[in-house]
């Protein structure tokens, strides 16, 4: 039967679809956490847009 003969191609295609979607979601999620963490570290060091502006004014 055709369905049995080609099932490996269907499974491989859906596997590729899942892999691409999971990779994209992981990319945006991990990148978001990374940027938030770096911004938080800069804030902890007292570096923010406001503090940099104020120090430039002094």
Partner 1 sequence: MRISELANPSRFLRAANLAIPWLGGATVIVFAFAIYRAMLAPDDYQQGATVKIMFLHVPSAWLGMLCWGLMTIAALGTLVWRHPLADVAAKAAAPLGAAFTLLCLVTGSLWGRPEWGTYWVWDARLTSELILLLLYLGVIALWRTVEDPSRAARAVAILTLVGAIDLPIIKFSVDWWNTLHQGASVFRLGGSTIDPTILIPLLLMAAAFTLLFVTLLLAAMRNEILRRRVRTLRLLQASAAG
Tell me: does residue 40 bind partner 1 (CB under 8 A).
no
CB of 39 to partner 1, least distance (A): 6
Helices (H), 1-58: 2-44, 49-57
At CA 43, angle to CA 56 and CA 57, rounded to 5?
10
Tell me: does residue 49 bind partner 1 (CB under 8 A).
yes
CB 42 within 8 A of CB 48: yes
Residues in the site for partner 1, rule: CB under 8 A?
2-3, 5-7, 9-10, 12-14, 16-17, 20-21, 23-25, 27-29, 31-32, 35-36, 38-39, 42, 47-49, 52, 55-56
């Amino acid at each position: 039967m055709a369905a049995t003969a080609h099932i490996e191609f269907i499974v491989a295609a859906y596997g590729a679809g899942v892999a691409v979607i999971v990779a994209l979601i992981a990319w945006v999620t991990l990148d978001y956490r990374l940027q938030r963490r770096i911004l938080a570290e800069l804030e902890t060091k007292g570096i923010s847009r406001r503090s940099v502006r104020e120090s430039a004014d002094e």
